[in-house]
Amino acid sequence: MTKRIATGAVAGILFAALLWLGGWYYTALITLMAVIGFAEYVRINGQKHGRWDVLAAYAAVVCFTLSHLPAAWGMELPHMDALAWGLMFLLLLATVFSKNAVNLKDAALLFLGAVYVGFGFHYMLVTREMEHGLFWSLVTFVSIWASDSGAYFTGYLIGRTKLWPAISPNKTVEGAIGGIVLAVIAAAAFSLARPQLLGIGQAVAIGLVAAAAGQLGDLIQSAYKRLRGVKDSGKLLPGHGGILDRTDSWLIVFPLVHMLSLVG
């Protein structure tokens, strides 16, 4: 427990500092997290990092994650749909030129992982780069963390009804409800602090989405790890697991709040 608290404190302070700084400090952090997270995904699936189709997927994750390149480079990234199509094409070509040594299942898993990881981290960067981006990032992150805390402590104190024991035996319905309530309260607090930026209805919607989608993101990772027979996605953070273990909610919530036009 001491190791878990210490790791959480150090990682939390570093993340908060780079989030506050923004710019290429935060971009470098998020891109590094995306690459490590995808490495965990590749390892869980038992794929070899040196294969050219895997390397192409790594490159796609970086391109998906970044919102733009440094101005000094004089280059722009292709649109996300063009990048996604290009990756799909390359992975399908890999099945042809390898004479199915790289099979369709390999290609599909790499494509799914690249989109899942790359798009999720991309929207974290996009949120920070918006006008008042620090505010919108904090609203979303704090709502997710409030949901996690509310679910944990409510489940610990009064949890009785199992939510989905076949996937995550410790989660309860009471905990899920507690997470939703605390996430809505947290988002509403931002509305009270900055009503000119965030209306109360919009805040409630962000809290609901952060809690519901965040808990589904957690269940997605739990189901996937159970299928692969692993407890944690990695060992980077002692007591916490890997990057995907810590960001499973983020990867779902950030794209969703943008698609629903809840931030900005």
Asked if residue 5 has pLDDT above 80, the reply is no
The owner of tokens 């969703």 is 256
The DSSP result for 104-173, as a single string, is HHHHHHHHHHHHHHHHHHHHHHHHHHSTTHHHHHHHHHHHHHHHHHHHHHHHHHH--SEEETTTEEEEEH
What does the domain layout of the chain look like in residue ranges? 27-129, 132-264
> According to DSSP H, which parts of the chain are helical?
2-21, 23-44, 52-65, 80-97, 104-129, 133-158, 173-193, 200-228, 243-259
Global pTM reads 0.93
Residue 58: partners with Cβ closer than 8 Å, 6 or more residues away:
35, 38
Q: How far apart are CA 23 and CA 93, in angstroms?
A: 36
100 within 8 A of 93, measured Cβ to Cβ = no
- Measure the CA angle with vertex 210, ends 150 and 164; round to 5°: 65
Question: Alpha-carbon torsion 162, 165, 170, 171, what sign?
Answer: negative
pLDDT, average across residues 94-120? 94
Q: pLDDT digits over 12-62, tens only?
A: 999 999 999 999 999 999 999 999 999 999 999 988 888 999 999 999 999
pLDDT at position 1: 61
Please state, in angstroms and rounded to a whole number, the distance separating the CA atoms of residues 221 and 233: 9
pLDDT in tens, 113-137: 999 999 999 999 999 999 999 999 9
The answer to whether residues 248 and 217 touch, using CB atoms and an 8 Å cutoff, is yes
**pLDDT for the residue numbered 264:** 84
**Mean per-residue pLDDT for 161-185?**
90
